[in-house]
Amino acid sequence: MTKIDAAWEEQEDGWPYPDGADDVADPSSEIDEDLMDLHHALGHLLDGLTPLEKAVIAGRYGIGGPELTVKQIRDRTGCTHTQLREALGSGLGKIRGRLC
């Protein structure tokens, strides 16, 4: 098993990045209006991504359907863990670049 494959196995759902599910919202904090606008922009969030990047990010975060495990996306796409990891990383990088 390679170091990359070991990283995939560390997460319960097979994803190498934490999803922030354990984050707790602070009800006393101010609401960020930009984050509220992000909800409206969700429909265009995946514009400009490759089909594989779209499929991986949509499946990983449940955009347009249920959240999927790495194995489920691998079975649907026929891609390797490495290809899915690279697509997730490059797609998230493109999205971050547009949001900054």
Mean pLDDT for back-to-back runs of 10 residues, the chain (100 residues)? 51 59 57 60 81 94 90 96 95 87
pLDDT at 8: 47
Q: With contact defined as beta carbons under 8 Å apart, do 57 and 49 qualify? A: yes
pLDDT at 98: 81
pLDDT at 54: 94
SS3 content of the chain, % helix, strand, coil (to 5): 60, 0, 40
Q: Which two tokens stand for residue 77?
A: 């796409």
Q: Which two tokens stand for residue 93?
A: 């990088």
